[in-house]
């Protein structure tokens, strides 16, 4: 082990709280502008706070043999969309952040979109290359002009140097990926539409490297009416929320206004800096920041970010409230059952039959998910494990999943120590698993890069939950 790795293990990886905070900082706008010296200073500050000041209020303690996953994660906003819109309508000028406020991505971290860009460009390490390229472009821009605000062309030039790809190729793939993974935050969409109906013309303030023209297209693609909205993007004007300069500009532009409100998710850029400039700030919950601490890392990066992104938004990103059974079905069971259903369907296509017979302890829940995905196939429930002529028999056990055809057996999940017990009787679990399968299948059809779900990925969320030996017992108890 090299010295650098040893130092990293001591200062970063030894404590989960430090690792989590440092990772979040390095991926933030402020972290990318800070450079190596700034990041090192922040890391030392975290270690000083943890070990000397003993500031551990945000630490998540994991008792031996336990997991941190709550039985029910579902959380709704403290204020309804209608109430928020009513409060905002009292202000003369209303501005919104874009990403993680008006728009969500089907991913758990913003930079994870670069995994998929890399797949499209044929570069496996693209996420790292792209992240470093942006940091380098910001550093160079600051040295030349005193601002960290860069545009997509300047970043792409840095990526060109590292990969040899053309600037147009890089930009095109990134813009396509962003549109593929973005969709409207349902809560904020209600707020926006309500404000429009009341005659307001909300504005957009975004710290982003994508130009105003593209941001407008993206918002329209996500269903927002921005035909009369002013959109101010940091890369176009070299002013940002992170530095506070865009708020000064806003007040200069709207001198006739007596009151200002801004809505966003970033504590520094959207809340504190807005308040410093006399603007009333409304905090928007970021589902990924709230939910990522509960997501296992033991998955393939592409599959994990989509799974975690979907779960985070479902649990924390809408006004819908779900019970503990739905949460378990969506979070822990959905990806396993989806993987098995996809496996079954692949075999049925390979062997030229659309007839599936489901048997085993979990047959009802797996048949329900399968039927929601493959509506044209003929399926049945059977108490007999023998294979009928012309059928594929899907054995849906509590700790193994396999298919049989004539004398052949095809295993998806071999006999394991992961035991589901009897979950088929809980309708909420079936509803949650079906909802996840539907959502994931929609993304997979857009992005074939996701491929088949490996068993390791499929069982990881359930395995994580079952670190708590009492988890299923507590879940299934009324």
Same domain, 321 and 202: no
35 found inside a domain: yes
Same domain, 305 and 233: no
Going by C-beta distance under 8 Å and a sequence separation of 6 or more, which residues neighbour residue 261?
88, 91, 93, 94, 95, 279, 280, 281, 282
Question: Contact at 8 Å (CB) between 319 and 186?
Answer: yes
Distance CA 357, CA 388 (A): 8
> Which tokens sit at 225?
């009416």
Report the chain's terminal Cα–Cα distance, integer Å. Answer: 51
Distance CA 239, CA 247 (A): 9
* CA separation, residue 324 to residues 321, 329, 369, 473, 477 (Å): 10, 9, 19, 13, 11
Same domain, 18 and 153: no
Same domain, 318 and 425: yes
316 found inside a domain: yes
Q: Which of 244, 261, 286 is the last residue of a domain?
A: 286
Distance CA 130, CA 76 (A): 35
Same domain, 107 and 218: yes
* CA separation, residue 399 to residues 336, 361, 405, 430 (Å): 12, 10, 20, 17
Same domain, 105 and 158: yes
* pTM for this prediction: 0.85
Distance CA 362, CA 461 (A): 18
| Other beta carbons within 10 Å of 256 | 7
- Structural domain boundaries, residue 349: 292-476
Question: Contact at 8 Å (CB) between 420 and 470?
Answer: no
Chain centre distance of CA 229:
27
140 found inside a domain: yes
Going by C-beta distance under 8 Å and a sequence separation of 6 or more, which residues neighbour residue 216?
226, 231
Can you say whether the dihedral through the CA atoms of 45, 47, 53, 58 is positive or negative? Answer: positive
- Radius of gyration of the chain measured on its C-alpha atoms: 25
| Other beta carbons within 10 Å of 374 | 18
pLDDT at 232: 98
Name the H helices within 122-151: 126-145
Distance CA 440, CA 437 (A): 5
Q: Which DSSP category does 387 fall into?
A: P
Helices 334-350 and 427-446 cross at an angle (nearest 10°) of: 60
Task: Single out the residue of 247, 236, 227, 200 nearest to residue 97, CA to CA.
Answer: 247
167 found inside a domain: yes
Same domain, 162 and 227: yes
* CA separation, residue 15 to residues 62, 133, 467 (Å): 12, 28, 20
Same domain, 41 and 98: no
> Which tokens sit at 472?
């299923």
Same domain, 336 and 248: no
Q: Which of 233, 260, 286 is the last residue of a domain?
A: 286
pLDDT at 16: 66
Same domain, 153 and 31: no
Q: Which of 240, 260, 286 is the last residue of a domain?
A: 286
- pLDDT one digit per residue (tens) for the chain, 478 residues: 467 767 777 888 777 678 767 876 776 667 777 778 888 898 999 898 888 888 876 665 544 445 678 889 999 998 999 999 999 999 999 999 999 999 999 999 999 999 999 999 999 899 999 999 999 999 999 999 999 999 999 999 999 999 999 999 999 999 999 999 999 999 999 999 999 999 999 999 999 999 999 999 999 999 999 999 999 999 999 999 999 999 999 999 999 999 999 999 999 999 999 999 999 999 999 999 999 989 998 899 999 999 999 999 999 998 899 999 999 999 999 999 999 999 999 999 999 999 999 999 999 999 999 999 999 899 999 988 888 888 999 999 988 899 999 888 899 988 777 777 778 778 899 999 999 999 999 999 988 888 889 898 999 999 888 887 788 888 888 6
Count: domains in the chain: 3
pLDDT at 23: 73
Residue 218, CA atoms < 13 Å, CB-side half-sphere: 26
* CA separation, residue 89 to residues 60, 83, 100, 250 (Å): 39, 10, 21, 18
Chain centre distance of CA 434:
19
Same domain, 256 and 309: no
Same domain, 350 and 330: yes
* CA separation, residue 223 to residues 13, 46, 201 (Å): 42, 41, 16
Give me the CATH number covering residue 132. 3.40.50.1000
Going by C-beta distance under 8 Å and a sequence separation of 6 or more, which residues neighbour residue 87?
79, 282
| Other beta carbons within 10 Å of 365 | 26
| Other beta carbons within 10 Å of 442 | 11
| Other beta carbons within 10 Å of 229 | 17
């Amino acid at each position: 082990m090299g010295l650098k790795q040893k130092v990293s293990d001591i200062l970063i990886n030894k404590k989960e709280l430090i690792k989590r905070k440092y990772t979040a900082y390095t991926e933030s706008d402020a972290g990318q502008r800070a450079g190596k010296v700034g990041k090192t200073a922040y890391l030392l500050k975290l270690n000083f706070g943890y070990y000397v000041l003993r500031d551990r209020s945000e630490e998540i303690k994991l008792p031996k043999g336990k997991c941190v996953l709550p039985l029910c994660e579902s959380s709704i906003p403290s204020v309804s969309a209608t109430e928020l819109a009513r409060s905002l309508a009292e202000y003369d000028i209303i501005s919104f952040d874009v990403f993680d406020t008006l728009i969500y991505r089907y991913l758990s971290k913003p930079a994870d979109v670069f995994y998929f860009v890399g797949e499209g460009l044929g570069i496996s390490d693209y996420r790292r290359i792209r992240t470093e390229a942006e940091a380098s472009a910001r550093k160079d821009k600051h040295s030349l002009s005193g601002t960290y605000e860069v545009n997509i062309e300047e970043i792409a030039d840095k990526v060109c140097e590292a990969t040899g790809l053309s600037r147009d190729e890089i930009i095109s793939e990134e813009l396509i990926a962003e549109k593929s993974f973005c969709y409207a935050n349902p809560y904020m969409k209600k707020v926006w539409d309500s404000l429009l109906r009341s005659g307001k013309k909300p504005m957009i303030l975004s710290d982003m490297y994508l130009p105003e023209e593209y941001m407008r297209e993206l918002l329209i693609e996500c269903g927002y009416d921005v035909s009369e909205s002013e959109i101010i993007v940091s890369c176009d004007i070299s002013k940002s929320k992170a530095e506070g300069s865009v708020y000064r500009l806003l007040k200069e532009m709207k001198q006739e206004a007596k009151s200002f409100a801004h809505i966003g998710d970033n504590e520094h850029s959207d809340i504190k800096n807005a308040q410093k400039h006399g603007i009333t700030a409304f905090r928007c919950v970021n589902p990924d920041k709230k939910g990522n601490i509960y997501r296992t890392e033991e998955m393939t990066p592409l599959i994990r970010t989509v799974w975690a992104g979907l779960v985070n938004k479902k649990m924390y990103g809408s006004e819908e409230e779900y019970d503990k059974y739905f949460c378990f079905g969506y979070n822990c069971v959905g990806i396993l059952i989806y993987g098995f259903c996809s496996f079954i369907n692949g075999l049925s296509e390979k062997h030229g039959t659309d007839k599936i017979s489901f048997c085993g302890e979990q047959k009802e829940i797996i048949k329900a998910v399968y039927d929601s995905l493959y509506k044209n196939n003929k399926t049945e429930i059977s108490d007999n494990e023998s294979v009928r002529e012309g059928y594929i028999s899907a054995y849906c056990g509590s700790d193994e999943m396999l298919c049989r055809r004539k004398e052949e057996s095809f295993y998806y999940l071999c006999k394991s120590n992961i035991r589901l017990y009897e979950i088929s009787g809980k309708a909420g679990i079936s509803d949650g698993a079906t909802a996840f399968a539907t959502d994931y299948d929609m993304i997979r059809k857009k992005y074939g890069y996701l491929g088949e779900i490996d068993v390791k990925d499929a069982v990881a969320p359930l395995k994580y939950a079952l670190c708590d030996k009492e988890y299923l017992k507590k879940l299934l108890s009324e």
